[in-house]
């Protein structure tokens, strides 16, 4: 039932004792970082000021902008010769965020992911297929090494090429699959086209889903059509990647591993803690990382800590599914997208005005992005010209944001005008 029983079954007092020990060690280590050393000096803080978990609040927040401003290695707490890997998250057209890892970091990351996979019932006898992208994004390698650490035969299928995915599933006897929810639906559609029944023709029994907002209804629909149990996961590049929080077999919230992270929930406007059980912005402090530990990192994800104990016997806090974000980042098909990325592309075309609208919709269980943008001059009767323009815009957008939007060119004056801050994004997806 437990992979790391001693750590997974810690009582609350034991968790907090361990957290304080690791927090104090982490803060001392952070003084090797030029960024944190300066930040502490500016706030008249020393590592010795952190004598309790409550003292964590003395430390200023770290933000994504801090990572961009210190790009690429300004927050690192080790010399680069001790780093063995870096990962970079998607971002705006400016600097991305970069996280470096030591070998110890990678080992601990693999342990955390292995713990998550074991918690949902996976064992060395399982065949684990990973349809996440490999490369600078963390999902591919994070799940790869975690699954291998658990001892499973692992299929690094990567993303896309659905017919090849299905061939792997059927030929290799895949029992567990990691995929974003919308892609699972696509897999099922292709199965139907090929005359395959997942319950009859595959050995699938476990799905790991995450990376994009999805409703409980969508999760249950996936379980029904695929004949599996689907478990929610949460991770982010700044916190290593996958393995930050995971559902257990009770499927009643995501256990966040408090031997790796300290959790705070704050009001994103006042920056003060919210009452227990209320929704706010998730703030995380890493307490078991060498390369680039982060103190009080504002994730911008909105969630809450669920009250009560879990029947599974783990006392690590449980997070509710993510309710959205406190900033303007869009998560679509597992990719982080910023409206400014889209605007930058649109503004390259002199035929377009500055007025555009991004609409996110769920159609046939798939999340889609529709981008409506006004034409500077009315030539809607020139079908061939419109087709070429639409194709060129779509191509550049796909190159920038890594997903293919539906681009609609509309006459000038069609879209709503705003006297204040323009509303650029309408999210009509059902996410909770």
Number of domains in the chain: 2
Please report whether residue 208 resides in a domain.
Answer: yes
**CA–CA dist 104, 327 (Å, integer):** 32
In the beta sheet, which residues pair with residue 241? 236
Same-domain pairing of 400 and 263:
no
Contact criterion met (CB below 8 Å) for 68 and 89:
no
Same domain, 370 and 321: no
Angstrom distance (rounded) from CA 228 to CA 316: 26
Name the domain boundary from 300, 327, 354.
327
Give me the percent of the chain exceeding a pLDDT of 70: 94
Is 432 part of any domain? no
Residue 98 to residue 73: CA distance in whole angstroms:
7
Q: pLDDT-based confidence at 365, cuts 50/70/90? A: confident
The answer, yes or no, to whether residue 93 has pLDDT greater than 60, is no
Per the domain annotation, does 54 fall within a domain?
yes
Are both 242 and 347 inside the same structural domain? no
332 domain residue, yes or no: no
In terms of domains, do 250 and 360 share one? no
Q: Which residue bears the tokens 């990647």? A: 241
Question: pLDDT digit string (tens) for 270-284?
Answer: 999 999 899 999 999
pLDDT (0 to 100) of residue 420? 41
pLDDT class of 315 with cuts at 50, 70, 90:
very high
In a domain, 314, yes or no: yes
Which whole number is the average pLDDT over 156-163? 90
Are 228 and 371 members of one domain? no
pLDDT tens per residue across span 49-76: 999 999 999 999 999 999 999 999 999 9
Read off the CATH number of the domain in which 367 is found.
3.30.300.30
| Model confidence at 379: pLDDT above 90 | no
Query: Do 323 and 382 share a structural domain?
Result: no
Q: Which structural domain, as residue segments, surrounds residue 396?
A: 338-427
In a domain, 198, yes or no: yes
Indicate the range of 176-180, 305-309, 325-329 predicted with least confidence. Answer: 325-329
Q: State the first-to-last Cα distance of the chain, in angstroms, to the nearest integer.
A: 30
User: Which residues are 330's β-sheet partners?
Assistant: 337
- Please write the tens of the pLDDT for every residue from 105-148: 999 999 999 999 999 999 999 999 999 888 888 889 999 999 99
Highest mean pLDDT among 90-104, 306-320, 326-340, 356-370: 306-320
Tell me the per-residue pLDDT of 212-255, one tens digit each, with 9 for 90 and over: 766 787 788 889 999 999 999 999 999 999 999 999 999 999 99
Q: In the Cβ-directed half-sphere of 390, how many Cα atoms lie within 13 Å? A: 18
Q: Are strands 280-286 and 297-303 parallel, antiparallel or unpaired?
A: antiparallel
Do 142 and 11 sit in the same domain of this protein? yes
Q: Are residues 66 and 120 in the same domain?
A: yes
- d(C-alpha 153, C-alpha 380), whole Å: 55
Asked if 311 and 349 sit in the same domain, the reply is no
Band (172; pLDDT cuts 50, 70, 90) = very high
Which has more confidence, 376 or 119? 119
301, 327, 353: which is the final residue of a domain? 327
Question: Are residues 357 and 216 part of one domain?
Answer: no
Check residue 133 and give its pLDDT. Answer: 85
Q: What CATH number should be reported for the domain holding residue 89?
A: 3.40.50.12780
Give dist(CA 359, CA 424) in Å, integer: 8
Contact 288, 259 (CB under 8 A): yes
Residue 416 pLDDT > 70, yes or no?
yes
Q: Which of 327, 356, 375 is the last residue of a domain?
A: 327
The strand order across the sheet containing 297-303 reads: 261-266, 280-286, 297-303, 324-325
| One domain for residues 248 and 135 | yes
- Cβ neighbours for 235, distance < 8 A, ≥ 6 positions apart: 138, 139, 142, 210, 241, 242, 243, 244, 245
Question: Do residue 65 and residue 206 come from a single domain?
Answer: yes
> Quick one: average pLDDT of 2-18?
98
> Which range is least confidently modeled, 36-40, 129-133, 351-355?
351-355
| pLDDT for 417 | 65
| In contact, 356 and 371? CB cutoff 8 Å | yes
Q: Is the pLDDT of residue 192 over 70?
A: yes
- Is pLDDT at 421 greater than 80 in this prediction? no
Query: Could you give the C-alpha distances from 40 to 23, 31, 45, 263, in angstroms and in order?
Result: 15, 8, 5, 21
Average pLDDT over all residues of the chain: 92
| pLDDT of res. 419 | 39
pLDDT at 213: 64
């Amino acid at each position: 039932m437990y992979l790391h029983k001693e750590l997974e079954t810690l009582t609350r007092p034991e968790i907090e004792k361990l957290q304080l020990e690791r927090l104090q060690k982490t803060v001392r280590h952070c003084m090797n970082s030029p960024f944190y050393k300066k930040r502490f000096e500016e706030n008249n803080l020393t590592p010795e000021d952190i004598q309790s978990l409550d003292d964590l609040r003395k430390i200023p927040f770290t933000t994504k902008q801090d990572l961009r401003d210190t790009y690429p290695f300004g927050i690192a707490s080790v010399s680069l010769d001790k780093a063995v890997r870096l990962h970079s998250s998607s971002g705006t057209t400016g600097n991305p965020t970069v996280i470096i890892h030591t070998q110890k970091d990678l080992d601990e990351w693999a342990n955390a992911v292995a713990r998550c996979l074991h918690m949902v019932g996976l064992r060395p006898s399982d065949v684990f297929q990973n349809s996440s992208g490999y490369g600078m994004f963390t999902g591919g390698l994070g799940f790869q090494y975690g699954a291998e650490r658990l001892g499973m035969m692992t299929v690094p299928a990567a993303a896309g090429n659905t017919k090849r995915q299905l061939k792997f599933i059927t030929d290799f006897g895949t029992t567990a699959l990691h995929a974003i929810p919308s892609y699972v639906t696509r897999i099922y559609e292709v199965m139907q086209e090929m005359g395959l029944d997942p319950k009859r023709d595959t050995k699938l029994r476990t799905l790991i889903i995450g990376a994009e907002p999805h409703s409980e209804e969508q999760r249950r629909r996936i379980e029904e059509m695929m004949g599996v149990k689907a478990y929610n996961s949460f991770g982010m590049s700044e916190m290593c990647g996958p393995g930050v929080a995971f559902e257990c077999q009770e499927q009643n919230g995501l256990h966040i591993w408090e031997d790796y992270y300290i959790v705070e929930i704050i009001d994103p406007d006042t920056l003060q803690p919210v009452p227990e059980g209320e929704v706010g912005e998730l703030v995380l402090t890493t307490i078991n990382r060498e390369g680039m530990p982060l103190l009080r990192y504002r994730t911008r994800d909105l969630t809450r800590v669920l009250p009560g104990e879990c029947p599974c016997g783990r006392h690590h806090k449980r997070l509710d599914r993510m309710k959205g974000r406190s900033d303007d980042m869009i998560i679509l098909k597992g990719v982080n997208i910023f409206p400014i990325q889209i605007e930058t592309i649109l503004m390259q075309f002199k035929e377009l005005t500055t007025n555009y609208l991004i609409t996110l919709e769920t159609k046939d269980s798939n999340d889609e992005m529709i981008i409506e943008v006004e034409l500077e001059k009315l030539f809607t009767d020139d079908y061939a010209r419109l087709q070429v323009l639409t194709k060129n815009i779509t191509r550049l957008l796909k190159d920038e944001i890594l997903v293919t939007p539906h681009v609609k060119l509309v006459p000038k004056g069609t879209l709503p005008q705003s006297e204040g801050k323009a509303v650029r994004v309408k999210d009509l997806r059902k996410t909770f």
